[in-house]
Structure 1
Amino acid sequence: MKYLLTCIMCTLLFFGCADKKPDMKTFKEEPVKPFSPPVSYEESSKKADEFLTQLSVEEKIELIGGHNWFFVKGVEKFNIPQLYLSDATQGVHIRKDLSGQLEKSTAFPCPILLASTWNPDLSKQYATSIGEQCRAGDIAVLLGPGMNIYRVSQNGRNFEYFGEDPYLAGRMVENYVVGVQNTGTVATMKHFLANNHEFHRRMTNAIVDERTIHEIYTPAFKAGIDAGAMAVMTSYNMVNGEWAGQSKTVITNLLKGQLGFKGLVMSDWWSVWDPVKTITSGLDLEMPGEGNMDIPGLEIMGDVYVRSNAKRLLDEGKITENDIDRMAKNVLKLSIAMGLTEREVKDESFLNKFTEHEKVALNTAREGIVLLRNECVLPVSKDKKILLTGDFVEELARGGGSAEVEGYDIVTMLDAFKAEFGDNLTYIENPTNEDFTEADVVIVSIGTLDNEGWDKPFELPEETNEKIKNISTLNGNTLVIVNAGGGVEMTPWANDVAGILYSWYVGQNGNIALAEIVSGKTNPSGKLPISIEKQFSDSPGANYLPEGAELYAGWAEDMNMQYPQIDVEYKEGVLVGYRWYETKKIQPLYAFGHGLSYATFEFNDLQLSSAIIKDEEPVTVTLTITNTSEIDGAEVAQLYIQDVEASVIRPVKELKGFKKVFLAKGETALIEMELTKKDLSFYDVDSKSWKAEPGDFKILVGNASDKILVEATLTYVE
C-alpha cells in the first residue's frame, strides 16, 4: 500500500492541482448510420441488366477477371471506367511499378493500434482520410478493411486487423466502411473466411464448426454488410475442405445468403484453382485474372483463370451464360451504384487535405498506444537524464506485404524524443553498463517486423530477453517500448522492468505521440484489443503448425502449392481470446481490454432500465464514471454479459458494449449502453438462428476483461 501511495503521489505532483468539478455529461454508445450508394441497388441492378443485353459473351467475360494485375476493365460505350484496386487498410500502398500513382500517401498507424483506441468515431475519421487519398490517386476500390479475427499471436497479418473480439471489431469496421465509402471509394472487407494465420495459407484447410463461424468469424463482416459495404474479398485458405474463393457454401450460402451481402465478391490474388467451381460458386470477380504461370511455386497450377477458360467451358456446357451474366452484372452494378458513370474517380482536390490526414494519424497514435505497466517510471520529467537505446530508434517499425505504406516526412523515435526532451535525452546504440547505471531513466525499444505471407515467433530472441533483464538489474527505472503487430512474449522480464508501452506500428508521425505519452503531455488511453498470453502454449490455437514444421520467412514458401495440405481444426470453438483464457482459467500476462492511464477512474451506480428483458424490447444499462484524479484523461467502460446457466458451452464473458469517454479532472459522466435479446443469444445450429435461453445473465462492467468493477443481474423471459 505504501508503494501504491508513492506512485499516486508521483503522478499528482507531476500534474498539479485540481479545478472545480464540472457538471455531469451523458455519453451513449451510438449506432452508425449505414452508407447508401448514390444510385440504389435496385436502380443500378436494372441499369446493369440493360447494359448486359448490349454486350457480347466475349465482352462480358472480359469483365469477370482482372487485367494488368490490379485493374478491372471498363466499358467505354456505357461510360463505365476502368477501376484501379489498391491496398490497404492502413493507408494507400503505392505500387512503384505502375504509372499514375500518388507521389505520396500517409502511413497511418496499423489497424490493430486503431482497434486499441476503442473509438469508433476515430475509425471513421481514419477511414475517411484514406478514402480521400484514394480519390486523389484515382483509386476506385480500396482493398480493405482487413478484419480477420486474431486467433493466434504468431499470425504475420495481425497488424492489419482489429483484434480478437467480434463485437469490438464489428464496431470499428462498420465505421471504417462508412468512412471510406462516404468519400466515393468502395470498401472491400477481407478476407472471407477463417484466414487466421499466414503459414502456408494457400494450403491450409480451416476446419470450423457452424456455431463458431457465426459467433466469432462472421459478426464483423455482418456489421460491415449492415453498414453498406460494397465489396468483399475471399481468402486464400480452404474452409471445411474447399478453397474459400471457389466455395459455393462460403460465398452463395453463407455470405450472400445467411449474411445478406448484395455487393461484389472478388477473390484474393491467385487463390482459386478450378474455373468451373469459381464461376458457379457465387464469386463475381477473379483477381488478378492472369499471370500465375510466371510466378515460381504457382506455375504447377497451370491456366486456371476465369477469363481464359470461360468461353471454352460455356461451349462445353460446363457453365451457362447465366453464370457469366451474374458475375458481369455485379461488376457493372458496383460502378453504377457508386455513381462512376456520372463522375470521375480521380479528384485531386483531396490532395489539399493531407495535412488533416496527418493530424488524424497522430491522434490515432495518441489514443491507441497502450500503457501496460507503470511502476512509477511514467511520466518522465524533462529534467531527468534519459538514455534511449534498442531497435527501431532511427528507423520506423512497420508491417510488410500488400499492406505496407512507406509514408513521407517520417518522424523516427529519435527525432520525436529529441524534440520532446532536448539535450537531456541521449541515444546510444550500444551502451555500457556504466551508461545504464548513470541514467535516471533507460528507454529500451524492441519489437518485430511482421509481414504478410509468413508468421513470426511469439517468442523474442533470447538475446533480447537477456538484454532487458540485464538493463533492469542495472537501472530500476527501465521502460520498454514494444513495436509489433501483435502480442509477443514478455514473461521473462515483464515483472522486472518499471514500465511497458505497447506502441504497435505507430505510422509516419506516431512517434510524436509516443514521446508525448512518455513526457506526460498526452495521457495514454489505449486498451488492448487482444489478450497477450504468458507463453504461446497457453493460447487456443497454439497447435496450428503441423508436427515437426518450423516457421519460415520469405515469399517462396508462401507460393509453394506442393506443400501438403494442412488441416487446422478450430477445436476451441467459440472460446477465442479472452473467452478461452477466462473459461479455461488460464491467466494471460495482460488481459483483453487492459490499458493504464495516468488518471484514476471510479465506476458507480450501475442500473438497468428493467431487471427483465423479453421479446425485442431493449434494456438500457447506465453507470457513472468519475475521474478521481487531478489529471484529464480517458477511460473505456466495457460491458460484458455472462449466461449463468446455458445448455451449450458459453464463454464466461462476452463483450456486448463499450464507450470511451474523455473526462476532465474531477469530472463525472453518465454512460448509457443498450442490451437486446440478440446480445444474450448464441447461434443455435439446429434452428439455424440466434437463440436466447430464459434465465439470469450477469451484466459486468469494468475497464478490462479481468477488471470488473460493477455488476447487476438481468433476467430473460420468453
Structure 2
Amino acid sequence: MPDEPTPSAHPGRPSTEGADTPRAPGAPDAADPAPVAAGAPGRGHARVRGGRGRLSRRAVLLALAGGGGAAATVALARGTAHAGPRAAPGASGSRADGLLARLTLDEKVGLLHGAPDPASLGQAGYVPGVPRLGIPPLRLADGPAGIRVRGTATALPAPVMLAAAFDPGLARAYGRVLGREGRALGQDVLLAPMVNLIRTPYAGRNFETFSEDPLLSADLVAELVRGVQAEGLVATVKHFALNNQERDRDSVDVRADDQTAHETELRGFEAAVAAGAGAVMAAYNKVGGVHAAESAALLTTVLRERWGFDGWVMSDWDAVHTTAGALTAGLDMEMPGGARYGAPLRDAVRAGRIPEAAVDRAVRRALAVRDRLGLLDQPPAARPARDAASGARLALRVATAGATLLRNEGAALPLTGPAARSIAVIGPTASVPFVSGGGSAHVVPDAAARPFDAIRARAGADATVAHAVGEDLFGRPLPPLVPAVDLDAVRVAAGATWSRTATLTTAEADEWTFLVHYSGTRPTVTLDGAELFPVRQGVAEFFAGGLLAAAPDGLAVRRVTLRLAAGDHTLAVTAPGGTDGQLFRLRAVSGADRAADVAEAVGHARVAAAVVLFAYEDATEGQDRTSLALPGNQRDLIEAVTAVNPRTTVVLNTSSAVTMEWLDRTAAVLQMYYPGQEGAAATTAVLFGDADPGGRLTQTFPAAEDRHPTAGDPRRYPGRDGIEEYSEGVHIGHRWYEKEGIAPLFPFGHGLSYASFAHEDLIAAPGEGGGVDVTFTVRNTGDRPGVDVPQIYLGASPDLAARGIDQPRSLLAGYRRLELAAGERRRVTVHLTARTLSSWSTAVGGFVLGTGRRALRVARSAADPGLRATVEVRSG
C-alpha cells in the first residue's frame, strides 16, 4: 500500500516554480502538490483584467472527473465520473439486473436490512448474502479514524487533525489506509467519512469531521472517498444532512433555507457524490419537519435528481420510523436490523401496499455499487494482508502535518539548549496516551507510546525529565471503611453476586469524584441510598469518551463528582459475576487529593527549565459538551504551574475549540487534537523542532462562551421546542465572526511555523473552466525549512447583492500547503472555480455566478488582512 498521497486529476491544479524542498519528518511530500479548490464550474465565466476564459465541454468533463472535492452544480450534476474500481459502462447495471431477476421476494428483502452476524468480527453491522446466487454478505465497520472491530487496528489521528493539514492529497492517502485495512480486517463497507460541518463548538462529534468551512470540507471528503474506494471498500458519507449536534439528535427538527443548506452543509455531500461515494447514511434528525431517513426532498430530489447519486442510501442505526415512507422517499437499506424493512416490508409487498418495483429499485442500487467495487466477483478477490507498519507511518505523517501551534511567545518552541535538557512533563495524558475520541469512532491500536516516554527518550540520557500527573483521572483506593473491606480489586466469580455495605467517614466537607472500574455488568453503587452511576439516556450509556471511559488496563470506567458533608456516609456495592465473572474496583479522588496533585506538579515545574503540560477534553458520540473550558481541575493546574514557570507549553488533546482564560500565562500552546497511535512521536517531533508544526485551524476558537455563532440564541442551538434554526444563514464559522465584527481567540486558518514567510507579487488571470487563477510568490524568510498555508479569501459580488442574494463578506476560495527550505521562494497559482465564485439563487433554483468587481486577499488566516487585489468577474 502506498505511503504517499496519490496524485489526483484536477482541473486548475496548482502549479509551482522552484527547486524541490526537503521534507520534515512525518510531513507530506512537497513533490506531490494537492488540489486546492473544490467545485465544478458554475454558470458563466470570469473576466479578469480584460482576459476571458470560456467554459468548454472539455473543462466541464475535467471538472466532473477531477479531485479536490469536485461538487457539481445543478446543471452538471449528472454523468459524474467516479474514482476507484468500476465495471465498464452498463456492466454493473446489467449484472445487478441479472441477479435481481433471480432473487425471490424474501431474498430481496433480506438484502435491504441488517441482521445478527453468525461470525461477527465486532463490526457495526451485517447484511446477509444469498449463497445460492453467489452474493456474499456485507460487513459494515465504523471507521472515521480507523477500523472499529473487536481486535486492534491502526488508530489514525481524528479527521479534524487530518483537516488541519489543509492537504487533500494527504486525505486520499488517509483514505487508502482505511480502505486497505478495512478489507484486510474482513470488512466491505466503511461507515465514514463524516462531512457534517462544525457549526457549534459544543457538538460532541466535531473531532470526527473536518471543518467549519464548506470548501475545505468538500475538498477533503472527496479525496478521502477516492482513497477508500480505490482499495475496494465502500465509503459511506454521513450524516445526510444538517446533523451538527448530538443533543436530541434523533428528534430535533432542523430548519434551513435552500441557500443556507446548499452553500454550507450540503456542499461536502455533493463533493462526495461527485467523487463516486458508494453509499450515503441518512441522519437521525428531522429536516423541515420530516426525519432525514424519510425525506424525499433530501434522498430523491437533492441526492439523486439534482446530484445524480447512483449508490445506495442506508439509515443511521435505528433511524427508520415507517416502512413505506422511508422506501418511497429513497431510503434503500435499514440498519442494523429489520424492524421496518424486514417482515413489515415483505408483508406490505405481498398485500399490495408497496409495489415490488420499489424493493427492486433499492436492491439494484446496492448490488450495482457492490459490483462496481468488485464485491460480487466470483471467485471473490483475496483480501489483502494488514500492513500495520504502513498504517503507522501514515498516522505519524498526519499527526505531524496537523499539529497546530497556536501561540509561541519568545520562541519558547522548539525546545533547545537548557529548555531541552531540564523538562517537567505534567498532565495525565502525558502518561496515558490520548488516542481517539469516544463512541463509534474509538479505535484500539496495536500499541500507543506514552508522550512522557517519547519526550524523555528524545531529550537524552543526560537530561532531567520528570513527570507529575497533575490531575488524577482514574482515582485512588478509598480511605479505610468500617467494617474494613478492600474495594480496589474485587473478583466476582461467574454466576455469583458480590455485596457489601460499609461506612465512609469524611473529616470535612469536600468535593469527591467516585469512580467504578469494571469488566462485566456495571456494579450498583449507592451512597447514602442514592445510586452513584445510574443508567444514562440513549447512547450516552454506551459512549462515554475515548480517554475517560476506560482505565489504562482496559476496564470500563464510570465517574461522578459530588460534594460530601463531613461525617459518616453509607456505601453499598452489589456486583454481578455474570457468565464469565468480572473484576471491579471502586476508587475516589477528594479535593485534598487534587490539591496534592497540583502541589506535586508545581514542585517539578519550579525546578525545571521548561514545562510541557498536557491538557485534555474528552468528547464522544451521544453527548454534546456542556462547556468550552477545559474540564476538571485543569484551569487551576495550569495557573499554578505557570505561576512558578512562565516557560510552560500547553499541549492540547481536545476535540474542538476550547476557551483559554489562562492563555496569557503560557509561553506556547500546541493543539494536537486526538492524534492517534503515533501521537507521542508526532508531539515530541514538533516540541523539539524535528518537524515544523504544519497544521492550521479548521475551526474558529471563540474568545468566550458567549462569543460564537450559536451563543445566546437557543433557537440556533440546541433548539427551542424541538426546532433548531440555522438563522445564521450562509455566515457559518469564520464568516460569522467577520460579519459581526467579533474578534475570536484564534481565527480559522491560524497556525504558526518555526520559519517565517512573505507573500508577494499578487496577480489574477483567467482560469480554466471559467474560474480565476490567483498567482503569487511565497518566500521563506527564516533560517530553517517550514510549512506555510496561504489562503485565498474572496469578497462578495456587488451584482448578487443588488439582486438581494445574501453573501459572506469573504469566503475561503482556495488554499495551498507549501514546504519551503530556508530562503526558498516559489511562484504559486491557485485556481478558484466558477462554482466558488457562485451563490445559490432561490429564484433560479441553482447557483449563479457572482459577477462584478470582487475583493481578493492572500492571507495567513481568516482574520489576516493579507495581500490584497480586486478581480472583475463577468458573465457571457
Q: How high is the TM-score relative to the length of structure 1?
A: 0.88
Partner-residue secondary structure (3-state), 1:357:
helix
Q: Which moved more, 1:503-512 or 1:25-34?
A: 25-34
**Aligned partner of residue 536 in structure 1, secondary structure:** coil
Tell me the distance in 1 between the aligned counterparts of 2:862 and 2:96.
Answer: 49
1:514 maps to 2:670: no
**In the TM superposition, what is the alpha-carbon distance from 1:460 to its structure 2 partner?**
2.3
**Residue 58 (structure 2) aligns with:** none
Tell me the equivalent position of 2:428: 391
In 2, the alpha carbon distance for the partners of 1:311 and 1:171 equals 41
Q: Note the C-alpha offset of 1:471.
A: 2.0
Aligned to 1:125: 173
Partner in structure 1 of residue 641 of structure 2:
471
SS of 1:306's partner is coil
1:433, 1:474 within 8 Å by CA — same for their partners in 2?
A: yes
Tell me which residue corresponds to 2:809.
652
- Of 40-49 and 677-686, deviating more is 40-49
- The 1:453–1:462 alpha-carbon spacing in structure 2 relative to 1, beyond 3 Å, is closer
Give 1:637's aligned residue. 790
Q: Deviations over 1:34-57 (max 9, x none)?
A: 504331463211221222221222
Supply the distance in 2 between the matched residues of 1:606 and 1:698 (Cα, whole angstroms).
13
Q: Secondary structure at the match of 1:331?
A: helix
Is 1:596 the counterpart of 2:644 in the alignment? Answer: no
Deviates more, 1:248-257 or 1:63-72: 63-72
Task: Give the aligned partner of residue 242 of structure 2.
Answer: 194
Contact kept? 1:205, 1:565, Cα under 8 Å = no
Give how far 1:609 is off: 1.6
Larger radius of gyration: 2
The answer to whether residue 441 in structure 2 is matched with residue 403 in structure 1 is yes
Contact 2:797 2:850 in 1 (8 A): no
Query: Given the alignment, which residue of 582, 589, 592 partners 2:738?
Result: 582
Q: What amino acid is aligned across from residue 308 of structure 2 in structure 1?
A: G
Among 857, 862, 874, the residue aligned to 1:700: 857
Q: Distance in 2 between matches of 1:382 and 1:313?
A: 76
Match of 2:141 in 1: 86
CA 616–365 in structure 1, closer or farther in 2 if over 3 Å, else same? closer
Q: Greater shift after overlay, 409-418 or 149-158?
A: 409-418
Which sits farther off after the overlay, 501-510 or 440-449?
Answer: 440-449
Mapped partners of 1:62, 1:363: distance in 2: 42
Question: Is the CA contact (8 Å cut-off) linking 2:426 and 2:601 kept in structure 1?
Answer: no
* Per-residue deviation, 1:133: 0.6
> Once the 2 structures are TM-superposed, how far is the Cα of residue 437 of structure 1 from its aligned partner?
2.2
Amino acid at match of 2:643: T
Alpha-carbon shift at residue 658 of structure 1 (Å): 0.9
1:381 is aligned to 2:416: yes
Using the alignment, how far apart are the partners of 2:20 and 2:228 within structure 1?
Answer: 36
Q: What SS is found at the alignment partner of 2:706?
A: helix
| Residue identity matched to 2:749 | G
Report if aligned partners of 1:383, 1:424 keep a CA contact under 8 Å in 2.
Answer: no
Q: Secondary structure at the match of 1:443?
A: strand
Q: What per-residue deviation string (whole Å, max 9, x for no partner) do you get for residues 347-369 of structure 1?
A: 45432x22111101001011101
TM-fit CA distance, 1:255: 1.2
Q: Do the aligned partners of residues 544 and 460 (structure 1) sit closer, same or farther apart at CA in structure 2, a change above 3 Å counting?
A: farther
Q: Verify the 8 A CA contact 2:601 2:641 in the aligned structure 1.
A: no
Matches of 2:35 and 2:754, distance apart in 1: 24
- Counterpart-to-counterpart distance in 2, 1:683 and 1:208: 13
State the partner residue of 1:239.
287
Q: How far did 1:546 drift?
A: 7.7
Provide the rounded CA distance (Å) in 1 between the counterparts of 2:301 and 2:623. 30
Distance in 2, Cα, partners of 1:220 & 1:391? 36
What is the one-letter code of the residue matched to 2:165?
A: T
Q: 1: distance between equivalents of 2:814 and 2:416?
A: 37
Q: Which residue of 2 aligns with 1:444?
A: 613
Of 625-634 and 337-346, deviating more is 337-346
In the alignment, which residue of structure 2 is the partner of 1:424? Answer: 464
Q: How does 1:205-216 map to 2 (within 5 A)?
A: 205-216=253-264
Is the partner of 2:633 in helix, strand or coil?
A: helix
How big is the shift at 1:61? 1.1
Q: Deviations over 1:339-395 (max 9, x none)?
A: 2222566745432x2211110100101110100000021111264311111131111
- Name the counterpart of 2:657: 487
| Superposed displacement of residue 653, structure 1 | 1.4
Q: 1:520, 1:587 → 2: CA distance?
A: 30
Asked if the contact 1:544/1:568 (under 8 Å) is kept, the reply is no
531-540 or 446-455, larger mean C-alpha shift: 531-540
User: How many residues are aligned here?
Assistant: 660
The 1:280–1:549 alpha-carbon spacing in structure 2 relative to 1, beyond 3 Å, is closer
Aligned to 1:608: 764
Deviates more, 1:54-63 or 1:459-468: 459-468
- Corresponding residue for residue 722 of structure 2: 566
Q: Which residue of 1 aligns with 2:389?
A: 355
Offset, 1:265: 0.7
Alignment partner, residue 323 of structure 1: 358
Cα contact 2:201–2:657 (8 A) shared by 1: yes
Is the 8 Å Cα contact of residues 382 and 519 (structure 1) preserved in structure 2?
Answer: no
Distance in 2 between residues matched to 1:674 and 1:133, nearest whole Å: 34
Q: Secondary structure at 1:700's aligned position in 2? A: strand
Paired residue secondary structure (2:376): coil
Counterparts of 1:400 and 1:365 in 2: how far apart (Å)? 18
SS of alignment partner, residue 736 of structure 2: helix
Distance 1:616 1:111 in 2: 31
Contact 1:119/1:172 (8 A) holds in 2: yes
- Alignment deviations for residues 544-577 of structure 1 (CA, whole Å, 9 cap, x no partner): 7589999xxxxxxxxxxxxx96211111011110
Question: Hey, what's the Cα distance between the residues in 1 that align with 2:304 and 2:754?
Answer: 47
- Residue 398 of structure 2 is matched in structure 1 by 364
Point out where structure 1 has 5 or more consecutive residues left out of the alignment: 1-20, 97-102, 291-303, 551-563
Residue matched to 1:229: 277
1:238 & 1:344 partners in 2: Cα distance?
42
Deviations 1:229-259 (A, max 9, x none): 1111111111111110111111011111222
Cα offsets for 1:566-591 (capped at 9, x unmatched): 21111101111001001111111000
Distance in 2 between residues matched to 1:59 and 1:108, nearest whole Å: 38
SS of alignment partner, residue 620 of structure 1: strand
Quick one: percent identity of the two aligned structures?
Answer: 32
Q: 2:97 aligns with which of 30, 34, 49?
A: 49
Taking a change above 3 Å as real, the CA distance of residues 146 and 346 of structure 1, as seen in their structure-2 partners, is farther
Alignment gaps of 5+ in structure 2: 1-17, 22-29, 37-65, 69-81, 117-123, 470-596
Deviation for aligned residue 1:630: 0.8
Q: Is the 8 A contact 1:411 1:508 kept in 2?
A: yes
What residue identity is the alignment partner of 1:312? D
Relative distance call for 1:256 and 1:590 in structure 2 (3 A) is same
Per the alignment, do residues 329 and 565 of structure 1 end up closer, same or farther by CA in structure 2, a change over 3 Å counting?
farther
Residue 537 in 1 paired to residue 706 in 2? yes
One-letter amino acid of the structure 2 residue matched with residue 410 of structure 1: A
Paired residue for 1:217?
A: 265
> Over residues 584-634 of structure 1, what are the superposed CA-to-partner deviations in whole Å (9 max), with x where a residue is unaligned?
111110000000000000000111125xx8x95333211110001011011
Distance 2:741 2:184 in 1: 51
Choose 32-41 or 139-148, whichever is displaced more: 32-41
Cα offsets for 1:119-146 (capped at 9, x unmatched): 1111111110111111111211111111
Q: Which amino acid in 1 is paired with 2:852?
A: G
1:663-682 map, 5 Å = 663-682=820-839
Distance 1:282 1:506, change over 3 A: same
2:310 corresponding residue in structure 1: 262
* Aligned counterpart, 1:553: none
Is the CA contact (8 Å cut-off) linking 1:135 and 1:347 kept in structure 2? no
